[in-house]
Amino acid sequence: MWRLEEEAGGQPKEANARSMKSWLEGLPAQIPQIRSLEVGLNISSSERAWDVVLVSSFETEADLAAYSSHPQHQAVVALIRAVTAEVRVVDYVAGDALA
């Protein structure tokens, strides 16, 4: 999840959110390890809401690692960092119970 700067790169937050969505949604065509990828833009006016969320899945942790280090992913990361105020990440294995 990302909170975006109110303005960055000469663009308002809403335009940067749409750009992020486009950049991220282009990754599955370039990174075969991505099993699924969905990008959501916030529609809530709550102060607790974040601006953009990414939900993606991979077959294995090795696939996640390959995605994370892929040059195209790293290029998108650099673009996103330029417009982001805060970020939160959760990586997990689906179906695993907490010990």
40-85 pLDDT per residue, tens:
999 999 999 999 999 999 999 999 999 999 999 999 999 999 999 9
| Model-wide pTM > 0.85 | yes
Q: To the nearest whole number, what is the mean pLDDT of the chain? A: 95
Q: How many separate domains does the chain show? A: 1
Place of tokens 């282009």: 26
Residue 98 in domain:
no
Residue 11 in domain:
yes
Residue 57 in domain:
yes
Q: What is the 3-state secondary structure (H, E, C) of the chain?
A: CEEECCEECCEEHHHHHHHHHHHHHCHHHCCCCCCEEEEEECCCCCCCCCCEEEEEECCCHHHHHHHHHCHHHHHHHHHHHCCEEEECCCCCCCCCCCC
With left for phi above 0 and alpha for psi between -120 and 50, is residue 9 left, alpha or beta?
left
Range of the domain at 13: 2-87
**What band does 1 get if pLDDT is binned at 50, 70 and 90?**
very high
The answer on pLDDT for 95 being more than 80 is no
Residue 6 in domain:
yes
| CATH number of the domain that residue 19 is part of | 3.30.70.100
Residue 73 in domain:
yes
